[in-house]
Amino acid sequence: MLSTVQGKGEIRAKVYKHLAPVTLAKIQRALPLSGRVNFFEKNFAYILTDVVAGEEKAKLEIAKGSVAFMPAGSTLCFFLKDTKSFKPMNLLGRVEEGLEVLENMRRGDSLRVESISPASGSTG
């Protein structure tokens, strides 16, 4: 997954099809996605999307650096801290490069998800 934050840099994440194949396919069809960055407390940054997907192997505990989709709000989320969520999330993958870009984002920054190509293998 390649994402850019205007004026701040790129974020590269590995996504894994086996984690949420239906959700990932819907996100791929909706690309490119872009939106203004918001935060839930300081736990994760997110953008609103038009993607409609249900829960798929949903999790409530998400690790720092993870990328997930929250069906309840149609949001694509990038985790800045280990988080126990109140809403189930479909885990998509992990940030491999650009975690510092995520940490330097501010509310209102423009984030654009350019492309997604699922990685092979496991999440480790």
**Average pLDDT in the 58-62 region?**
97
φ, ψ of residue 52 to 5 degrees: the values are: -115, 115
Closest CA to 13 of 121, 119, 122, 120: 119
Mean pLDDT value of segment 54-69 = 97
Structural domains of the chain, ranges and CATH numbers in brackets: 2-115 (2.40.100.20)
Q: What is the pLDDT of residue 123?
A: 45
- Is 27 or 121 the better-scoring residue by pLDDT? 27
120 has a pLDDT exceeding 70: no
* pLDDT at 64 > cutoff 50: yes
Q: Find where tokens 């990038």 sit.
A: 78
Residue 89 has pLDDT above 90, yes or no: yes
Distance CA 48, CA 123 (A): 25
Whole-model pTM: value is 0.92
Q: Is 100 helix (H, G, I), strand (E, B) or coil?
A: helix
